[in-house]
Structures are given as C-alpha cells and as structure tokens.
Amino acid sequence: MAEIKHTPLYDFHLSLDAKMVPFAGYQMPVQYPLGVMKEHIHTRTHAGLFDVSHMGQVILRAKSGNTADAALALEMLIPVNIHGLGENRQRYGFFTNADGGILDDLMIANRGDHLFVVVNAACKDADIAHMQAHLSDRCDIEVITDRALIAIQGPASQAALETLCPEAAQMRFMDVITADILGTPAWISRSGYTGEDGYEISFPNDQIVELATALTAIDGVEPIGLGARDSLRLEAGLCLYGHDIDTTTTPAQAGLVWAIQKSRRTDGERAGGFPGADKILPEIINGAPRKRVGLRPDGRAPMREGIELYANETDTAPIGTITSGGFGPTVGHPVSMGYVETKYSSPDTIVFAEIRGKRMAAHISALPFTPANFKR
C-alpha cells in the first residue's frame, strides 16, 4: 500500500482536535469539535477555512513564450475555451477521453505569462502524466510541490480576508491575483466548492500554518472538515469526481454543457479537436440518454450513493442510480444527486429508490438545492 501523506497543515489540524481520516492518499480532517452539522451551517452563515492542500497545482508555460500557445495546446485535451480566457481570470473545465467520458474536472487560470491548473487530489498523478504525455512538446510543465492550498468560504469570507489582504475585496467571482499576505506573495482566486462566496489561496508550505492561524483567529472564521465540505457541495449541486462524474459520464449527461463555450462546439471557430468530441458535440445538440438530477426524498431517511432508482413501485428494471446523498443542513431535509433516463428527468417527477427491499419515493429536483452566492 502507498504511504499515507500529510498536508503541511496536518499538525495544525491535530492542534485543533480534528478527527483525521484517510482521503485521496492523505490524512485529512473530516470534522472538528464543532461537528459536521454546525460546521456546515457556520460556512453558510459566516466563514469556514478548509485545507485543500491535497489538490494538485500545476503551471504550464508555452515553450514559445506565448501563453496563447499553451492555451491552444491545453484545448487539445479540454473542451473549453482557454484561448479566450482573459488574463487574471479562471475557468472550470475537464479532461475528456476518447469515449466522451470525464477523466477529471479542474480549474484553469490565465496568469499572463503562464496557465495555472488545479486538479483533484485522487486524479492528480494521472492528470500530470496526461499533460506530460500530450503537452510536453509545446509546454513546460511545472508541478508545484512547495505551496499549500486553503479555501475560505462563506458570506463573511471577504470581510475576513481583506483584513490581511485589502485587494481581495475588489475581486469578482473567478478573478485571480497575486497579492501579499503577511508579507508573502499569495496566489488568490475568488472561487470555491461550497456554492458560497469565497477564495482559494496558494501559499508557501513553510508559512501556511501562520496564515491558517491568522485566519482562524478572525471572529467568525472556523476550521471546517471534509464532512461539511461534502454536504455543502451537495446542496450546491456540485459534482464530486469519482462519484457524480467519471469516465462513464459525458458532459451533457452530467449537466456540464454550460462549461463548453460556443467556440468549442459544432460550428464554433475552434470546434472539436478534443478527445471524445464526436460523442460530446452531438449530445449537446441532440440530448443525452440520461441526465444528472437532484432528488428530494419524501421521507427523512437519506438516499445514498449506489441506491438504484425505479419508475414505479413494481418495475424490476432500474431507470437510474444515486451518486451522492445525505442530509442537507441548510435546506433541512435529505438531498441526493444521481442519473436517470432523460424521460424521467423533469422536476417534480416521482421516482422510487429501493432501500433495504422497500421502494421509497423521491421527487426529481432542480439543482442547486440552495442558491449560489458568488460575488458577480
């Protein structure tokens, strides 16, 4: 077995009595003494600090010296308009395979003289190898190992961060800047994984404890673990790679067509040219055979990953499967996401989950379950 890794904030978590669990090859805090429910609510109402240092950070520089060349190279792997991404702006994207499936989802930022890419922890080794295999002839690929990554999320996140970094207040959703915090250059994006306003901050490993300590000392900021991170993103209708999206799901099935700009679609100026385009582009026009949907169980029992869905109480052939599920502390009831055949995907359609041999009703729900509160 591979040795379990620690982020630079491991001892910081222990000092706060965090409960640690293995996640994506790292020991990570699942909760603090506040508890998952209160951590979730605190992030929705105030501000929460998350350790996301297990994620992968990569810099791409074009060998030509022209960042537009790096963007065009990366577009060979990602069905997103990276060439048109403005300087100091960030965009969501995903690697696709030849069958139109999703290899991983990621964030791409244009930093002027380079692209900055953040990939998921569980996929980062494969993602880095993927980029090295396909981009090395046109790009220098630098894997960042000396910087940690944290996220501060929630409606009070701006007020908290601007006490240490006044420039943060001027940022819009998906802006990226480099600014000094505690006398050190921080790479900051106004983004996150909770549906709330917030920031992600890349900071040197040897100074991240100082930054985390300074932020959690601010009134209204609490450390938050993986448990609340999962319930927050579920309420926000955000996909977790390996669960709600994977190599068997296409962007149209996953409800991610919004992330594929017109320039990369059929008849766009740079249409196609990415793996799986011959499947992905027709599905954008013609629709997909199944869709990711929200589900609201009629009862109080959560409907969790792996539970099969049926059209009625007697049919033996499933019409879909739940991919994520749990209790939504903000909305006050269980929430789930999953895939159903497209004809069953309209909001308020009633489907049935089979739980311990019994069929339990659930209503198809529009996503997200809670409105996004990004700073536009």
Phi, psi of 373, deg, nearest 5 = -120, 40
What confidence category does residue 376 fall into, taking pLDDT thresholds of 50, 70 and 90?
confident
Q: Which CATH architecture has domain 1-287?
A: 2-Layer Sandwich (3.30)
Residue 375 is predicted with a pLDDT of: 87
> pTM of the predicted model, to two decimals?
0.96
pLDDT over 70 (residue 316): yes
pLDDT of residue 1: 60
- Model pLDDT for residues 328-340, shown as the tens digit of each residue: 999 999 999 999 9
Task: For residue range 193-251, list pLDDT tens digits in order.
Answer: 999 999 999 999 999 999 999 999 999 999 999 999 999 999 999 999 999 999 999 99
Interval 307-314 mean pLDDT? 96
pLDDT at 108: 98
Give the dihedral sign, CA 199/244/27/92: negative
2 pLDDT above the threshold of 80: no
Position 374 scores a pLDDT of: 93
Confidence of residue 27 (pLDDT cuts 50, 70, 90): very high
Separation CA 311–CA 298 (nearest Å): 15
User: Which CATH number does 289-376 carry?
Assistant: 2.40.30.110
| pLDDT of 16 | 98
pLDDT in tens, 133-170: 999 999 999 999 999 999 999 999 999 999 999 999 99
Return the domain boundaries, the chain.
1-287, 289-376
- Return the SS3 of 147: strand
Q: Which phi and psi angles does 6 have, rounded to 5°?
A: -120, 140
By the 8 A CB rule, do 36 and 222 touch? no
